[in-house]
Amino acid sequence: MKRKIAAIFAADIAGYSRLVAEDEEETLRRLASYREVIDDFIAKASGRIFNTAGDAVLAEFPSAVDAVRCAIDIQESLRTRNMAYPPSRQMSFRIGITIGDVVERNGDLLGDGVNIAARLEGLAEVGGICVSRAVHEQVANKLSVQFADIGAQEVKNIPTPVHAYMVAMRREDGTYSKPQVKKAAAKVAAAPVWMWPLVVAVVSVVAIVVSGFLYNTKLKQTVTAAVAPAPAPSASPSPTPTAAAMAPSPMPTQMAKAPMAPMAPSNAGAAMAPMPAPSPSAAPMTGKLAADSVPFINERVRNYLAGDYSAAGDYKAFALNVGGFTGSVLNQPSEEAARNGAIEQCQKRADAAQSPRRCELYAVGNNVVYTHGKPPMPPAPYFRHDTMTERAFASKDFPIVRDPQKVRLENMFVPAAKSRSVALGPGGQYFMVLGASSAEEAARRSLESCGAIAGVACMVVAVDDNFVVPVPTLLRITGFFHAASNASIIADQRDEVVRKLGEAMGWNAVAVGTAGRPGLGLKAADEQAAVNTALADCAKRDSDCHVIAIGPFTVGPIN
């Protein structure tokens, strides 16, 4: 761990829970879009995102000037985007910025600087920016920004008041708004000394009256209880591992919310982007509960389902969400109580870590009632190590996704603890699992969650510190390559291409000519050799050959 002074930026959506409750899918789509804007501005301002959870973003900047300028750019850009929506559906961020001493651990930043930035964000207006006095002193004479001094503010879990300033945001006509200073609650004047005997006397009389009333009430309840049958006892909720218990150690524990909530479990605390709604399955999952077939969960929860849960009698229920959060209750007084208890427990855990996914019932009793089918999965093994193609993971080379997502991978995946995996969908959807018990478990869970989000089978691209598939660099990656359905290859040759590619390790490439006759470069030691061999093989039986696939990806010319 190392200490440093940094400008800390904390952002959060105002009214996010209400927006999700009203229209989850639309809110998540817009959140992904707005996050791209935020991530892009932060990267351009030399900032680094060190933590995200749901709608919250924490970033560090080399200077307060960079942080404030970036915050203003973000708020003005998002304000323009919000103009397309009615006021009730506008998605506005609050931003807090401070300069403080922080500790860096595994890429995450901890300390008072992070906590104070989070508290300042809570003081900010909707769509506004609130900064500490230290930031104000740094930027007051360097940026054309107006401030409103709101004085010393008492904030939660910070022992001394924080002197804060509101940033005046520019209106559409070029003028500046005047921040609304939040008034502190007036202190109640102390009562005169002569009033205390009177107060004590009045309180004593009231206490006697209330005690008598409660005593008589208790007598009535005791008589009623003596003749009424006692309800069946209800056991405490099941010992499903808590979010904190399932959280991997390197995942950050200090977030922009107060009070600090436990982080998501390792299969849910991963980054999820973009986040469209899960695609509906052909048929819901039904039948008897089999712990081995439950998706999204880690082995600890799976063992609980196979043991304590399965052995318990009715009434009981188990709930989960795509991100891997779970809830479970046993020995409830009714089926309805079991259903409600499992959903409530799961959702509390998901909300505590700001997961954008809603929890759903998976099982009631020992019967599966999940409304979605199994997530689409590729055939096993889910990844394989090949020394000729495997290379060190580099976020800048991650295929298909945009630059803001690459920044997120750099900030979250790279510093996280093993075992970790990233699964990628053909439309750019991806899901990270961090801190799993094994590489195989990380791969499975990332594929399950990614597949549920994308609606089609995803592919494990990286495990721990390495890419585990060939990632082309000579040509531009355009999508996933499926030889069996690729229209560029003549139909009667597709099965042969599938067979030969399935048997080949190393670098592989496919080229076709005007007639669609394929040429293959198989088991090559490097990408260039595979491309050259594929073009030469194609030229033997076709003309105007060009490469259409390298490894598992379709490729095209680099623009």
CATH number at residue 65: 3.30.70.1230
Residue in 443, 323, 455, 425 with CA at minimum distance from that of residue 384: 443
Residue 176 is given by DSSP the state B
- Three-state DSSP at 446 gives helix
User: For 224, which DSSP code?
Assistant: H
What pLDDT does 171 receive? 57
**Cis link prior to 378 (omega < 30° from 0)?**
no
* 65 alpha carbon, distance to own chain's centre: 29
**Could you give the CA distance from residue 331 to residue 422 in angstroms, rounded to a whole number?**
38
Q: Is residue 494 part of a domain?
A: yes
Work out the burial of residue 470: count CB atoms within 10 Å of its CB; fewer than 13 is exposed, 13-18 middle, 19 or more buried: buried
Do 213 and 241 lie in one domain? The reply is no
Domain check: are 319 and 405 in the same one?
Answer: yes
Give the count of domains, the chain: 4
* Calpha distance 356→345 (Å, rounded): 16
**Closest Cα partner for 129 from 111, 143, 112, 108?**
143
Per-run averaged pLDDT (10 residues), the chain, 559 residues: 88 88 84 89 92 86 93 90 84 93 86 90 92 91 85 83 87 53 41 45 47 43 32 33 31 30 34 36 75 92 93 92 91 94 90 81 95 91 92 94 88 89 92 91 94 91 96 92 92 93 90 95 95 96 95 88
Query: Is there a contact between 330 and 305 (Cβ–Cβ < 8 Å)?
Result: no
Q: Are residues 299 and 211 in the same domain?
A: no
Is there a domain that residue 523 lies in?
A: yes
193/191 Cα distance (integer angstroms):
6
Q: Are residues 67 and 155 in the same domain?
A: yes
302 and 451 belong to one structural domain: yes
Distances (CA, A) of 141 to 76, 135, 389: 21, 11, 53
303 and 351 belong to one structural domain? yes
Q: Assess if residue 417 is contained within a domain.
A: yes
pTM as predicted: 0.53
Task: Say if 438 falls within a structural domain.
Answer: yes
Let me know whether 218 and 363 are in one domain. Answer: no
- The pair of structure tokens assigned to 266 is 């390792």
The predicted structure's pLDDT at residue 188 = 36
46 in a domain, yes or no? yes
User: Domain limits at 365?
Assistant: 231-469
Backbone angles phi, psi at 516, to 5 degrees: 80, 15
User: Is 191 among the domain residues?
Assistant: no
Q: Tell me the CA distances in angstroms from 49 to 67, 383, 530, one per residue in order.
A: 12, 29, 38
Residue 180 inside a domain? The answer is no
**Distance, CA of 104 to CA of 195 (rounded, Å):** 55
Instruction: Choose one of 453, 469, 485: the last residue of a domain.
Output: 469
* 379 shares a domain with 285: yes
- Are 354 and 432 in the same domain? yes
Residues 212 and 88 in one domain: no
Ramachandran angles phi, psi of 4, nearest 5°: -160, 165
Pairing of strands 391-392, 367-368: unpaired
Task: Give the separation between CA 271 and CA 323, rounded to whole angstroms.
Answer: 9
Bond prior to 259 in cis (omega within 30° of 0): yes
Strand partners, 487: none
My answer on whether 411 and 375 are in the same domain is yes
Three-class secondary structure of residue 475 per DSSP:
coil
| Residue 542 belongs to some domain of the structure | yes
Position 189 scores a pLDDT of 39
